[in-house]
Structure 1
Amino acid sequence: MSGDPQRWADLRARVLSAIVMVAVGGGAIVAGGLPLVLLGIVAPGLMMWELARMTRGAGADVSVLLGVLAAAVLVLNYWAMWHFWSPGLSLAPLALLLPSLVGALTPRRDRAVFAVYALVIVLTGIGLVALRNGVGLPAALCVLLVVVVSDVAGYFAGRLIGGPKFWPAISPKKTWSGTVAGWIGAALVGAGFMAAGWGGAQLLWILPIVAFAGQMGDIAESAIKRRAGVKDSSNLIPGHGGLLDRFDALAFAVPAALLIDLALPFMPAAGG
């Protein structure tokens, strides 16, 4: 094992990511109601702003407008679902496509990448609330823990074990040992929830898939930052980057968990 201190240079950022996700995300999920909805509106709006800034081309900067648009379509969907949901308002979910479409029509690098990532961001806003209110508190907390545990396990395994790189052209620090450790960490989270009576044996293979989706979110954001030539998505968190830097894995894990649950419910619905 190398004693190179640079091996642990980003440990502080990783610890901060875990703290932010557990404190902010976990707190809002447990509280539910308005705090969770506000998180599901404000965070995606800021993340959309960061994504738009990193991918903007020549011409007018519409990043702020795209962030506001993302927040607005999320407000529209929450309003429709909670108060007036009916077949006559079935177009509300289509509004989630607006940030992707509008952003792709403005001067921009990698329009397709922006469009897909923008949709993932707004789905994350809806997904957090859907997991908490539709599937239940245990499921929402489970996904959050999978993201945190798989990231921490992957980080330490990658630094301590090393080995072949997972995708060196995009994320040169990520290794196969870290990736597999993340899957193992996710399976251990599943074992814990099984022991608590909040799910069956399917958690042992479903949660590693959710963890892998989160890992892909991390890699996708790394690729966008490399293309943009920036170290952080923004400076919203002074000295530690932006919200996308902290929530990139959660942004992919939440939609993945929702899609999996639609096809194969992996945790019993629970209130709270």
Structure 2
Amino acid sequence: MKQRIITAVVALLFFIPLVAIGGMPLQLLAAAMAGVGVYELFNMKGLEIKSLEGVLAILASVLLVLPKATWFNFLPDTVTNITLFYLIVMFILMVPVFSKNSYTFDDAAFPVLVSLYVGFGFQNFILARESGVTVLMFALLVVWSTDIGAYFCGMKFGKNKLAPHISPNKTIEGALGGVICAVVVALVYLLVWPMANYNLLIMLPLTAIFSVVGQMGDLVQSAYKRHYGVKDSGNILPGHGGILDRFDSLLFVFPLMHLVGIF
């Protein structure tokens, strides 16, 4: 627990100033985290990240994260991040041709899906920050308060298992506690920093949905880890595991927030 707290404090001291600064420093951090996330998934599957498809998958995720207007403004206006991403996907799909089918279409699907999952999540992380610090902090607080509420409510009241085949320690009571905690935190936050796009009566039900979806993102990552027989996605954060262990919920929540127009 002590190591976990120390890592969290150090990470926040590094992370929060970059969130406040925004712009290129935060974009580079998000791209780096996306690259690490791709590496973690490759490593869980036992694949070599230095392989051609590993390098292409990292490149594809980074091309999704870095805003085209900032990093690739020398390209024509018709070229978008999705265009650049799909260009890399085309190269991945060509690998079976040059490997004489020793590398199959099914093999190519893994790096494509991994780069889309990680890259699109961190892309929306950057889009949230571009909408303002208050928007990004709202998203972060929803996920963080859900995690904290689920942990403590699960310890205190947890009796009924939520998904024992995937994550034996999670309980229904903990999940509900996480949702309630997120809604309470969102209520306090939104009273101080209201969201321009939606009023409070809409934001609170949306917060409950975001909390549930965030927990589903966590369960999805737990399912991957159980499938590949690993405890953590990585070890870059002592006491916390890998990047995906900390951002699995956000990779689901950020795109949904974008979809409903929060940013």
TM-score calculated relative to the size of structure 2: 0.79
Distance 1:33 1:182 in 2: 31
Distance 1:109 1:56 in 2: 16
How many residue pairs get aligned? The number is 249
1:230-263 residue CA offsets vs partner (Å, 9 max, x unmatched):
11112223454211112212222211211122xx
How far 1:177 moved relative to its partner? Answer: 0.8
Kindly indicate whether residue 38 of structure 2 is the aligned counterpart of residue 48 of structure 1: yes
Amino acid at match of 2:253: A
Distance 1:151 1:169 in 2: 20
Contact map agreement 2:63 2:85 (CA 8 A) in 1? yes
**Counterpart in 2 of 1:4?**
none
TM-score calculated relative to the size of structure 1: 0.77
Distance 2:104 2:184 in 1: 45
**Counterpart in 2 of 1:126?**
123
Kindly indicate whether residue 156 of structure 2 is the aligned counterpart of residue 160 of structure 1: yes
Is there any run of 5+ residues in structure 2 with no aligned partner, and where?
A: 97-102
**Counterpart in 2 of 1:93?**
82
Amino acid at match of 2:221: E
1:29 maps to which of 6, 19, 36:
19
Q: Secondary structure at the match of 1:166?
A: strand
Kindly indicate whether residue 170 of structure 2 is the aligned counterpart of residue 181 of structure 1: no
2:63 maps to which of 73, 87, 94:
73
Select between 201-210 and 25-34 the one with higher mean Cα deviation.
25-34
Amino acid at match of 1:149: S
Q: Secondary structure at the match of 2:168?
A: strand
1:119-151 residue CA offsets vs partner (Å, 9 max, x unmatched):
221012211211111x22111010011111110
Distance 2:253 2:88 in 1: 20
Distance 2:210 2:180 in 1: 12
Kindly indicate whether residue 195 of structure 2 is the aligned counterpart of residue 195 of structure 1: no
Amino acid at match of 2:31: I
**Counterpart in 1 of 2:99?**
none
Select between 223-232 and 79-88 the one with higher mean Cα deviation.
79-88
Select between 41-50 and 240-249 the one with higher mean Cα deviation.
240-249
Kindly indicate whether residue 249 of structure 2 is the aligned counterpart of residue 259 of structure 1: no
Distance 1:254 1:21 in 2: 20
Contact map agreement 1:143 1:254 (CA 8 A) in 2? yes
Amino acid at match of 1:69: L
Q: Secondary structure at the match of 2:159?
A: coil
Distance 1:108 1:12 in 2: 46
Select between 153-162 and 18-27 the one with higher mean Cα deviation.
18-27
Is there any run of 5+ residues in structure 1 with no aligned partner, and where?
A: 1-10
Amino acid at match of 1:124: G
**Counterpart in 1 of 2:236?**
236
Contact map agreement 2:34 2:62 (CA 8 A) in 1? no
Kindly indicate whether residue 134 of structure 2 is the aligned counterpart of residue 143 of structure 1: no
Q: Residues 43, 252 of structure 1: CA spacing in aligned structure 2 closer, same or farther, 3 A cutoff?
A: same
How far 1:111 moved relative to its partner? Answer: 7.7
Q: Residues 161, 46 of structure 1: CA spacing in aligned structure 2 closer, same or farther, 3 A cutoff?
A: same
1:194-239 residue CA offsets vs partner (Å, 9 max, x unmatched):
2114132222111121122221121111111111111111222345
Q: Residues 248, 72 of structure 1: CA spacing in aligned structure 2 closer, same or farther, 3 A cutoff?
A: closer
Distance 2:88 2:241 in 1: 23
Distance 2:238 2:67 in 1: 31
Distance 1:20 1:116 in 2: 32
Distance 1:163 1:108 in 2: 44
Kindly indicate whether residue 199 of structure 2 is the aligned counterpart of residue 205 of structure 1: no
